[in-house]
Amino acid sequence: MKSDNVTKGPDRAPHRSLFYAAGFTEEELKKPLIGVISAYSEIIPGHTHLDKIAQAVKAGVYAAGGTPVLLPAIGVCDGIAMGHEGMRYSLPSRELIADSVETLANGHCFDGLVLIPNCDKIVPGMVMGALRVNVPSIVISGGPMLAGHVNGDHSCLSDMFVAVGAFKGGKINEQQLTEIEEACCPSCGSCSGMYTANSMNCLCEAIGIALPGNGCIPAVYSARTALAKHAGMKVMDLVKNDVKPRDIINLDSLKNAITVDMALGCSTNSALHLPAIAHEAGVKLDLHLFNEISEKTPNLCHLAPAGHTFMEQLNRAGGVAAVMKELCDAGLLNPDTPTVTGKTTGENVKNAFNLDTSIIRPIDNPYSRTGGLAFLFGNIAKKGCVVKRSAVLPEMLKHTCKARVFHGEEAAVAAIYGGDIKPGDVVVILYEGPKGGPGMREMLVPTSALVGMGLDSTVALITDGRFSGASAGAAIGHVSPEAAMGGEIGLIRDGDIIDIDMDAYSIHAHVSEEEFAARRAEQVMPEPNVKSGWLSRYARLVAGADEGAVLK
């Protein structure tokens, strides 16, 4: 056992004395040591209950004959960080989380890990760290928030951001804004639509690193606590059988995850996190692979922001397992990939059943014949960019527009709220990429402003930054190479005509290579937004969005 390095033999007497100082007993030190890494905090609504989840995990580990050791992890609430300088820290925090998992696990010689994230960057960060350490590991997330209720309709956080735009546009009054504010987020848990947190929690099921139910069982349900106990028990089987993350996460399981991503209509941020997870597993994910899988994978779900259904409804309809069963029956998933249950993917879902075809469309009646995400390529995105196609209005799938260029989110938001953006424009936001931001801020405020002011059917948005999973509309992000890396997106000027064809996976500016060369010769890069602290180090080391914004 790896823990023998800190618990066995006369040479490790000093180490044991420190365990005793922490309250462990001799009997406990004779059992496998399991690191229970919890991102509990009082600032992230998706994490405020993770102390209860951690206690359930510990009970499961004890019941199965192990010794659990509770450890902390950080996290950033993307909603609270949205729209200001704090958002620069969100995506980079993924690397800190991966580093901390690696540090805690290797520094203390744990035999296994139970990872307890719930929101956005915390989920992939923990999985990335587990792949580096490569000891038996399992993910048990905190589960989704319940949907809110406003005027008899379901609501969620994205409705809140849209409501701000509606208020600015004079469509609702301050009292109505307050009513939505107080009702849209009614419980703990990850925000209730198919946003980044829930996307990654669902994809942990699809990739095989979490138990069935991980993605959809609501945070407040007792079934979530029971699942946490089972995760604690199951990690002991993984330790006994020496099943490690790299035994589970490989190209085949990643292809399964991308397929489920397309069927569910997951967040565009999955296009950052799956390549980053693959990187830690020693697998290269080319963005063209996403389009290849999208071409043959129908979109079966329209959860918010693409539609008006929510995670609790997906759970009642059969959850991720029911979606995977539809895909398996159609031959779109590899059923033989291993999972943390000890069974294959096909065995896990063979008894799943679609209980509500209005929530999970059958394969022969999808929302669209292709997947929820599309990766566009062209002369201003030579290494690609991404859009959540399933959340785009039909009239915006193919669109010709005139560029309005802004350096940074704030200038764009001011123009939108100031009424300066007109139908037929495309808002182009530059220097918000992984390096230029730095940190690749989410653009939920400008996208919600466009929706709230009724411009989402006539105005697109393109950025080298990224979007919240709650963003809707013709929001095209992750443009690579980014402006700060010399990408052509940084050479776009006001008035340039841009053609967007999401069905053809194309984005093209009416600018010749000769004109781009002339503009490049005159280009003056702006001063870095951040010149000190660890974000300046991040900016020096980070790769492009097309590579998952990993550090190199």
Among all residues, which ones are annotated catalytic?
A: 468
Which segments of 330-470 does DSSP mark as H helices, in order?
345-349, 409-417, 444-452
Question: If we measure between CA atoms, which residue out of 391, 466, 452 comes closest to residue 81?
Answer: 466
Question: If we measure between CA atoms, which residue out of 289, 285, 371, 389 comes closest to residue 323?
Answer: 371
Residue 151's SS3 state is: coil
Long-range Cβ contacts of 547-550 (<8 Å, 24+ apart): 547/275, 547/279, 548/272, 548/273, 548/274, 548/275, 548/276, 548/277, 548/278, 548/279, 548/285, 549/91, 549/272, 549/276, 549/434, 549/440, 550/95, 550/275, 550/276, 550/279
DSSP 8-class letter at 370: S
The CA distance from 204 to 357, in Å, is: 23
Length of the chain: 552
Phi-psi region of 134 (alpha: psi -120 to 50; beta: other; left: phi over 0): left
> Cα angle vertex 449, ends 448, 455, to 5°?
100
> Would you say 461 and 475 are in contact if contact means Cβ atoms under 8 Å apart?
yes
Question: If we measure between CA atoms, which residue out of 154, 453, 164 comes closest to residue 309?
Answer: 154
Residue 100's SS3 state is: helix
Q: Which residue bears the tokens 């679609």?
A: 354
Residue 271's SS3 state is: helix
The CA distance from 182 to 175, in Å, is: 11
Question: If we measure between CA atoms, which residue out of 483, 478, 409, 479 comes closest to residue 447?
Answer: 409
**How would DSSP label each residue in 38-85?**
E---SS-TTTTTHHHHHHHHHHHHHHTT-EEEEEE-----HHHHTTSG
Question: If we measure between CA atoms, which residue out of 62, 369, 61, 321 comes closest to residue 202?
Answer: 321
Q: How far is CA 181 from CA 78, 172, 244, in A?
A: 17, 13, 44
The CA distance from 412 to 274, in Å, is: 29
Maximum C-alpha span of the chain = 76
The CA distance from 248 to 115, in Å, is: 16
Q: Which residue bears the tokens 């995670």?
A: 311
Question: If we measure between CA atoms, which residue out of 290, 263, 245, 130 comes closest to residue 203?
Answer: 263
